[in-house]
Every structure is written in C-alpha cells, then in structure tokens.
Amino acid sequence: MARARIPDADGLAAVAAWREGDRARSVVATAVRYTLQALADRAPGRSVEVRVPPFGAVQCVEGPGHTRGTPANVVELDPSTWLELATGALEWPDAVAAGRVDASGVRADVSWALPVVR
C-alpha cells in the first residue's frame, strides 16, 4: 500500500518552517517526506533508494530496479543534510566531501535532480 501523498501546501509550509529554524519532529518529518516525494516525482524509477532515517525512503531514477533485499544503489543521509541538499542550501560535492552522504552504486549520485524545492 502506497503512502498518502503530502499536499504541496503542507509540504512547502513544512520546508519553509524548517528553513526558518523550526526543528520540531513533525515539521522535519513532513519536510523530509515531502522533499523525498518531490525527488521521486522528478526522477521516477526504482534503481536508486534514497534513505533519510528515521523519516523516510524513496526509490527513484530510471534503470534496473530491485524487488528484495538491499538495492545496488543506495544513498543514505541524515535529515538535516537531506533537507539542505533538497533545498539547494548545500551542494552534493560539498556534502560528499564532508562525509555527510553515504552513497554506493554507480547510479547513486542524484545531484542532477537537486534541489527539488527552491
């Protein structure tokens, strides 16, 4: 069963609140889930899994998909790093160089799809 989509108004409000410094768990959770949803919309597919524990994960990017176990292409990062990348406050190469992104697999670089919200 698919998770219900976050309406744009709710997602953008959460992202705006996060940008203004609101770090309430519900705000961060909504902002993360909304921006992951936006990534999946921008880069549909099942070849890469982007994980932002504990709030969400999404499969995206066209290419060979997977159905069981750990996918070949995984990106995992903390909520703050993800939201900085998703909003353009942080660039992918800088996040990788600082060790803030754990990316494995030949398709794991999703920088071409970022930012997903301005």
Measure the CA–CA gap between 30 and 16, rounded to whole angstroms.
11
- Residue 1 clears pLDDT 60, i.e. is over it: no
Tell me the per-residue pLDDT of 54-78, one tens digit each, with 9 for 90 and over.
999 999 999 876 666 677 899 999 9
Torsion of CA 32, 37, 43, 49, to 10 degrees: 60
| Mean pLDDT, residues 25-37 | 98
CATH architecture entry for 8-113 = 2-Layer Sandwich (3.30)
Q: What is the percentage of the chain residues whose pLDDT exceeds 90?
A: 85
If you average pLDDT over residues 15-39, what whole number do you get?
Answer: 98
Q: Share the mean pLDDT of the chain.
A: 94
Rounded Cα–Cα distance for residues 88 and 54 (Å): 22
